[in-house]
A and B are shown apart, each in its own frame.
Chain A
C-alpha cells in the first residue's frame, strides 16, 4: 500500500511541477502576440456555421465562430508552423496549416466544412481526460446524438438506447411506466454486485440505483428514469477498460456519459414539442374457455362460466408530453433552459407515471481565460403502481390472472366487497387494481458547477463539483378487509434519501515538439455517497384510513450508509505525425469500502492507435477505395465496488436475554482485506472508411478477465461464522462488436443512411470458490457454476426414449427425469440492430429501426402456472378437460422445467418514425423557423417463437443473475405517438 499511497500523495505535486517546467521551457523562446482570423462555412449551402470551434493545435488557444461564421484567435506564441483545426458538431474537422512569423495578423481565409453524415470525426471526452478526437483513441467509444434519444419517444432515456449502441445489451425489463431498464456493456462482469454501468451527466456521477422500497413482486424502476431525454445533446458510451483511468474502482461495468444541451450563439431559440400517444398490449394469452371445471372422468365435474381476466387487466393506455426549451447567448454568456411535463398510463389498469422536469444550463466567460459552466436539473415524479411479477410474492395482478381459476367470479358484491379467491394466499387481482395503492414519489435535484481555466497557453485546469440528491418515497396501502392475507389491512411507507457529491480537479497540458505532440492529463477526484433508508409498516388498520397512524402493530427499520472514494490519475498521450498515438495512464483509487490494508488500488492502462491511412504511401496504395484505416489496441484494468458499504466490518446483532438488550456476532465475518473486483481487458480493433468515407466500419474484439470477484465463501462453522464475503471468484467475457454505416444514397432529393450493428459476447464463470449455487429469488432456476454463463437455467428434463421422443407413461403422460441438468442460457449470443434513415427533399424523414437478440433462452413460468391443473387458465389445459389428453398430463408436465425454457430470440420493429418538416411561408407567417409533425410507432411487431407476452422482459427487474425470467411481468406495449414540434 505504501508505494501506492506515495504515488497518490506526491503524484499530483510532481505533475504540476512537470507542467510548470515545460511551460518554462516554452517561455524562454521569443514570444509574440498573434491575431488569427478566418471564416467557417457549410460546404454544401455556403452558410456560416455559427458557433464552430476553432483551435490552435498544441496550445489552449481557440475561439468560436460568430454569427457570420467569423472567428478571431488571440494568442501569445513562439513563431513557427501551427495547425488550425476547424470543427463543428455533425461536420468533418478541417485542419489548415499556418506559419506564424513576423506579421501579427494571420488570415486563414474561408474554411468550408463537409457534413459528417456517419459521425466519423467525433471528439469524445469520456474516459480520456480531455476532449480527444476519436482517431487518437486506442479504444472504441460509442457515441449517439441526442436527437436519436429524444426522437425515439421511448419511456425513459435508457430505454431509448436499445439497438443504438454496438456491444450494449439494453433491455427494458418491464412495460410498467417509470423505468426498469438493464444495460450490460460487453457482458456481465460481477456476480454479487450491480452490473449496471456508471452513469455520468456533464461530468457528474449520478445515481442509478434500483431501490426496491416496497415489495411489488420483483418489479423495480431504476433512477436513470428521472432524466429527461429531451435535454440530451449527446451520449458517449465507454464499454471497456479505457474508462479505468478516470473511473478506476467503479468502471468494471462501463460508463455512459450524457451531455445535456447548452446554449449556442445567436438569437434565442424556442422549441416547443407536444406529443400524445397510445399504447396497447401486443399479444395476450389464449385462455381456457372450457364449459367444465374438471376432466370428463371426474364425477365432481360441473359446468362453469369462464372469463378472460386479461380484459380486466389490460387497457389502451394514453400518454402525453409537453416540452418547452429556450436557448441562446452571445460570445460571453450562453444559456439553455427547459421544462417538460410527462404523463403516461401503463397498459395495466391503475398504473401511471407523471413527471415534471426542469433544467437550466449556463455558460459564462468570466474573463478571457476563465469560464464557468453550471447546470441544474430538478425532477419530480409520481408513479402509481400495482404489484406484478410474482418472483417475490403472490399479489401481482397478472400473477393472479394465472393463479385464480377463471371460472371464479372476482367481481365485487353489492357492498363493493371483493370475494376472496379460491387459491389461498393469493389476491383478487381486481381488488389489487381497484383498491390497493402503491404510489412512488421522487424528488431529485442534480446540479453541477465547472470552472475551466486556461491561465497559460498550453495548460488548462478544470474544477468540477457535482451534486445529486434525491428522495424516493414509496407507499403500499391495503385497507382493512382485503383478501389474501391482508384481512386486517397493511400500510407501509419507505423512504430512500440519497446524496452524492463529486469533486474533480483536472489539469491538461499539451505540447508540440517537432513531429511529436504530448498531452498530459492529471487529476484528483473525490466522491461521497450518503444513503438513508427508512421503512415503517403497520397492520391492524382502522377502517377506511390507510395511513401509518391508522395501524396498531408497527414495525420500523432504518439503514444508513456512507461511502467515500478518492482517486488520482496521470495520463500521457504521445502523438507522432498525427498517425501514431500512444497513451498510458495510472490511476490510484482509495475507497472506504475496501479493507484498510487494501485501501489504495492501482489501475493502469495503455493504448495505441495507428492511423495507417495518414501515412503518405497510403493514398497511393489504397486510394479512396479504402480511404481511411486505423488500427487500435487497448489494455487496461478497472475495478468493481462491493455491493455492500460495510462488508469489511464484523458486526453484532441484537439478541436479548432476560428482557435485557444483548448482542451476538453476525454469522457473516467481516473481511478486513476486502478489495475491488478487478477486471483486465484487452481490446483490438480497426476502423475503416471506404469509398471516400461513404461506408464506415468499426470492428472490435475484446477479452475481459475479471478476478477477485466478491462471493460469499463458506467458513467452517467451528469458527463461529457461516461465511465471509471474499475476493475469490473469476469470470470472463469475450466477444466482438461490429458497426457498419453507409450512405446508400445522397443527392438533393434523397439521403439514405443505413447502419448495422452486431455484437457477440460469451460469458463464462471460470472459478467459483465454493459449489455451484442458485441465485436468490429465481425458484432455483438461475444458477452460477464454474464453466457456465452467469444465471444459466438449471432444472429437470423429460424422460426420453433413445430417439429423443418423450417417454410417456402407461396413460400417455410425459414423465420427469428427476436429475437436474442445464436447461438453457438467458444470455444472448448475438445482439443486432439494423437502422435505416431516409430524408426526402429535406422535409420528409423516415427512420426505421429493427433490433433484436438471438440465442437467448427465456424461462416462461407464466405458462407453467397457466397450464397447471390446480389453476388451469391456459388454453392448453382445455385439452385435458375435453378429453383430448389424459388426465394428469399437465400435472406431470408442470414438474418438468425443461418444458418452460423457450427460445427467446426476437427481432422487433423497435422504431418507425415518419416526420414532415415545414419551413415555408406558412410557418414564417406564424413566426416560426419551422414546424415538424411526426408519427412514431414503437415495438410495433416482434418476430419470435416465444409463447408468452414478450421475450424481452424480466420478472427480476435489474437483477445481475436472474435474467430471462418471465413470470407475470408486464410486457412492453406497442405504442403510437403523434408529435408536433414548433421551432421559433
Chain B
C-alpha cells in the first residue's frame, strides 16, 4: 500500500524511535490464508491437514448410519444426542449434536478441499505434485459430499464463494460427486503423482488411485448408473487397501475413543444373532456381550478399533465385489451377480482381514432379481457393518420405513439460524 511508504517516511523523518511503522502487521502466531494458500510448503501442509480433518470425523457417518438403522444402542445416560438418533423420529431436531457435527466437520474438509482445488494451480509446484494435490482435493470433497447426501436430502456443494451457500438436491449433488471423481481420475492419469506427493503428502496407507475408483463405483451405483459402477469397480485392485492413518498421540482413531475408551454405545446383539450360521464376519466386528443398553437392549462388544492407532478403511475390498454384484443384479445379469456375490460369501479372508467363510449360493438359491438383491443387501449388512453405508442401503434396497428411526437428518440449527437458504426439514 502506498500509505505505508509515506508512513515509514514520516516515521524515520520525525521520530526518535522508528520501530513498528508498518500498518500491515502480519500475524506471527499462525500462518494466514495468504501465506498458506500461495506457497508450496503451505499448500502441501494443507493437503496433509485435510486428510487428518477427514479422518477425525469418520465416526459420525457410521453413527448416523447405524443408529438410524437400529443397529446401535447408547450406553451412558449422558449421551443425549446419540440417544435421540437411536429413538429417532421427532426426537432428532436441528439442535442435535451429531446432526450439527456431521455437517460442520464435513464442511470443514470441503472448505479445505476447495482451497486446494482453487489455489494449487496458482502455486509453483512440480507437475506430479500439482496433479496429486488437485486429485486429492477433489477426492476428499467428493467423499465428504457423498457422505453428507447419505444423511441430508439437500446440501451446498460450492461453498467458498458466499457466506450463505445455496443448496442443491441430492441428484445434482450426486452428479457433482461423480464428476469430481472422474476429474480426479483424469488428473492423475494424465500426470501421475510425484514421488514427493506419494511419500510426503499422501497419508500412510492411503491408496489414491484405487480409492478414486472405489468411490466412483460406490456413488455411480448409488446414482443407479450400473455400467459406470461396473467399469469403475473393475478398475479397483482388490489386493490393495486404503485406510486413514492414526497414531497414539496427535491423531487418535475417533472410533477407538468413542466405542472402546468412552463406550458411548454398543452394537445390539440382534445384529449378531440374525447372522447366517458360521458367518466369520460376526466375530470380526463384534464379540458377544453381557451388558444391556440404556434402553435395556442386549448389546455386544465391539471387536474392531481396539487401539487408538487402528486403521479405518475408507472402502473394503468386499464392497467392490458387492458393488459389482448389485450392478449386475440391477441389470438383471443374475449369473454375473451370483459370481461376484459368492466371492464375498466364500472368501475366508481378504487384505482387510475380513472373511465370511460361507458356502456359495447357487442359481437356484437366487431364482430372481429380488432374491439376488435381498441376498446382496444381507451381505452388505455383515461385510460393511462399520462403513457408514447401511442407512443408504436400507433406503436403496427399499426396506420398510420401520427398519429406520429416520430416513434423513433434519438440517442443523447452526445452519438454519445463519443461512436463509436452508431448506425445510424432511418429514422423517
A665-B112, A719-B111 known; A465+B46 contact, CB < 8 A: no
Most chain-B Cβ atoms within 10 A of its Cβ — which of A528, A560, A566, A591? A528
A465-B17, A653-B30 known; A592+B22 contact, CB < 8 A: yes
Q: Identify B52's interface contact among A562, A599, A657, A670, CB under 8 A.
A: A657
Q: Interface readout for B10-54 with A: 1 if CB under 8 Å, 0 if not?
A: 110011110111111101111111001000001001111111110
User: Can you give 23 A-B contacts (C-beta < 8 A)?
Assistant: A9-B6, A524-B14, A526-B21, A560-B28, A566-B23, A590-B23, A592-B23, A652-B30, A655-B49, A656-B52, A658-B203, A663-B42, A664-B49, A664-B108, A665-B33, A665-B115, A716-B164, A718-B415, A719-B165, A720-B111, A720-B114, A720-B160, A770-B417
In the complex, chain A residues 617-666 whose Cβ is within 8 Å of any chain B Cβ: 645-646, 649-666
Q: Which residues of B contact A663 (CB under 8 A)?
A: 31, 36, 42, 45-46, 48-49
Q: How far is the CA of A705 from the CA of B28 in the complex (A)?
A: 35
Q: Interface readout for A558-593 with B: 1 if CB under 8 Å, 0 if not?
A: 111111101000000000000000000000001110
Interchain nearest-CB distance for A305 vs B (Å): 38
In the complex, chain A residues 512-566 whose Cβ is within 8 Å of any chain B Cβ: 524, 526, 528-530, 558-564, 566
Contact status B159-A719, CB under 8 Å: yes
Interface membership of A64, Cβ < 8 A: no
Contact status B104-A722, CB under 8 Å: yes
Contact status B32-A649, CB under 8 Å: yes
User: Closest 4 A-B residue pairs measured CB to CB?
Assistant: A720-B111, A662-B48, A662-B49, A716-B419
Q: Tally of A-B residue pairs with Cβ under 8 A?
A: 197
Contact status A528-B20, CB under 8 Å: yes
Contact status B111-A665, CB under 8 Å: yes
Q: Identify A664's interface contact among B46, B103, B247, B419, CB under 8 A.
A: B46
Interface membership of A505, Cβ < 8 A: yes
Interface membership of B332, Cβ < 8 A: no
Contact status B33-A649, CB under 8 Å: yes
Contact status B24-A596, CB under 8 Å: yes
Q: Which residues of A contact B417 (CB under 8 A)?
A: 714, 770-771
Contact status A465-B15, CB under 8 Å: yes
Q: How far is the CA of A656 from the CA of B6 in the complex (A)?
A: 42
Contact status B48-A661, CB under 8 Å: yes
Q: Which residues of B contact A771 (CB under 8 A)?
A: 417
In the complex, chain B residues 344-375 whose Cβ is within 8 Å of any chain A Cβ: none
Interface membership of B100, Cβ < 8 A: yes
Interface membership of B251, Cβ < 8 A: yes
Q: Identify A646's interface contact among B27, B245, B422, CB under 8 A.
A: B27
Interface membership of B55, Cβ < 8 A: yes
Interface membership of A854, Cβ < 8 A: no
Contact status B14-A652, CB under 8 Å: no
Instruction: Place the interface of chain B in its size category.
Output: 35 or more
A651-B32, A663-B42, A664-B49 known; A658+B21 contact, CB < 8 A: no
Interface membership of B391, Cβ < 8 A: no
Q: Interface readout for B181-217 with A: 1 if CB under 8 Å, 0 if not?
A: 0000000000000000000110111000000000000
Q: How far is the CA of A353 from the CA of B214 in the complex (A)?
A: 69
Interface membership of B107, Cβ < 8 A: yes
Q: Which residues of B contact A662 (CB under 8 A)?
A: 45-52
Interchain nearest-CB distance for A768 vs B (Å): 13
Contact status B115-A660, CB under 8 Å: no
A503-B14, A655-B52 known; A596+B1 contact, CB < 8 A: yes
Q: Which residues of B contact A645 (CB under 8 A)?
A: 25, 27
Contact status A651-B15, CB under 8 Å: no
Interface membership of B163, Cβ < 8 A: yes
Interface membership of A739, Cβ < 8 A: no
Q: Which residues of A contact B402 (CB under 8 A)?
A: none
Interchain nearest-CB distance for B45 vs A (Å): 4
Q: Which residues of B contact A666 (CB under 8 A)?
A: 30
Query: Looking across the interface, which residue of chain A has its beta carbon closest to that of B31?
Result: A652
Interface membership of B171, Cβ < 8 A: no
In the complex, chain B residues 90-110 whose Cβ is within 8 Å of any chain A Cβ: 100, 103-104, 107-108, 110
Given A652-B33, A720-B159, output 13 extra A-B contacts at Cβ < 8 Å: A9-B3, A501-B20, A526-B11, A526-B21, A646-B25, A652-B46, A655-B53, A659-B204, A660-B201, A662-B50, A662-B52, A717-B104, A717-B412
In the complex, chain A residues 1-55 whose Cβ is within 8 Å of any chain B Cβ: 5, 9
Interface membership of B250, Cβ < 8 A: yes
Contact status A505-B14, CB under 8 Å: yes
Interface membership of B288, Cβ < 8 A: no
Q: Which residues of A contact B10 (CB under 8 A)?
A: 524, 526
Q: Identify B165's interface contact among A599, A653, A657, A716, CB under 8 A.
A: A716
In the complex, chain B residues 399-428 whose Cβ is within 8 Å of any chain A Cβ: 412, 414-415, 417-419, 422
A657-B251, A714-B417 known; A664+B50 contact, CB < 8 A: yes
Interface membership of A123, Cβ < 8 A: no
Interface membership of A715, Cβ < 8 A: yes
A530-B20, A559-B29, A591-B23 known; A657+B245 contact, CB < 8 A: yes
Contact status B48-A657, CB under 8 Å: yes
Interface membership of B7, Cβ < 8 A: yes
Q: Identify A562's interface contact among B7, B25, B250, B419, CB under 8 A.
A: B25
Contact status A720-B46, CB under 8 Å: no
Contact status A716-B418, CB under 8 Å: yes
Instruction: Place the interface of chain A in its size category.
Output: 35 or more
Contact status A718-B156, CB under 8 Å: yes
Contact status A656-B100, CB under 8 Å: no
Interface membership of A111, Cβ < 8 A: no
Contact status A722-B414, CB under 8 Å: yes
Q: How far is the CA of A591 from the CA of B20 in the complex (A)?
A: 12
Q: How far is the CA of A661 from the CA of B204 in the complex (A)?
A: 13
Q: Which residues of B contact A592 (CB under 8 A)?
A: 22-25
A528-B19, A664-B108 known; A651+B30 contact, CB < 8 A: yes
A503-B16, A664-B49, A720-B110 known; A650+B32 contact, CB < 8 A: yes
Most chain-B Cβ atoms within 10 A of its Cβ — which of A561, A646, A670? A646
Q: Which residues of B contact A659 (CB under 8 A)?
A: 204, 247, 250
Q: How far is the CA of A873 from the CA of B47 in the complex (A)?
A: 57
Interface membership of A721, Cβ < 8 A: yes
Interface membership of A667, Cβ < 8 A: yes
Q: How far is the CA of A36 from the CA of B162 in the complex (A)?
A: 73
Interchain nearest-CB distance for B283 vs A (Å): 30
Q: Which residues of A contact B42 (CB under 8 A)?
A: 652, 663
Q: Which residues of B contact A656 (CB under 8 A)?
A: 48-49, 52, 250-251
Q: How far is the CA of A720 from the CA of B163 in the complex (A)?
A: 10
Q: Which residues of B contact A646 (CB under 8 A)?
A: 25, 27, 29
Query: Looking across the interface, which residue of chain B has its beta carbon closest to that of A651?
Result: B30
Q: How far is the CA of A122 from the CA of B414 in the complex (A)?
A: 57
Q: Which residues of A contact B23 (CB under 8 A)?
A: 564, 566, 590-592, 599
Contact status B29-A651, CB under 8 Å: yes
Contact status B107-A717, CB under 8 Å: yes
Q: Which residues of B contact A591 (CB under 8 A)?
A: 23
Q: Which residues of A contact B19 (CB under 8 A)?
A: 501, 528, 530
Interchain nearest-CB distance for A629 vs B (Å): 44
Contact status B49-A720, CB under 8 Å: no
Query: Looking across the interface, which residue of chain B has its beta carbon closest to that of A666?
Result: B30
A656-B250, A661-B45, A714-B417 known; A667+B108 contact, CB < 8 A: yes
Contact status A714-B111, CB under 8 Å: no
A661-B48, A665-B108, A716-B419 known; A564+B203 contact, CB < 8 A: no
In the complex, chain A residues 430-480 whose Cβ is within 8 Å of any chain B Cβ: 449, 463, 465, 467
Q: Which residues of B contact A9 (CB under 8 A)?
A: 3, 6
Query: Looking across the interface, which residue of chain A has its beta carbon closest to that of B164?
Result: A716
In the complex, chain A residues 708-730 whose Cβ is within 8 Å of any chain B Cβ: 713-722
Q: Which residues of B contact A528 (CB under 8 A)?
A: 19-21
Q: How far is the CA of A646 from the CA of B34 in the complex (A)?
A: 14
Q: Which residues of A contact B11 (CB under 8 A)?
A: 526
Query: Looking across the interface, which residue of chain B has its beta carbon closest to that of A653?
Result: B30
Interchain nearest-CB distance for A975 vs B (Å): 42
Contact status B32-A660, CB under 8 Å: no
Q: How far is the CA of A133 from the CA of B20 in the complex (A)?
A: 36
Interchain nearest-CB distance for A502 vs B (Å): 10
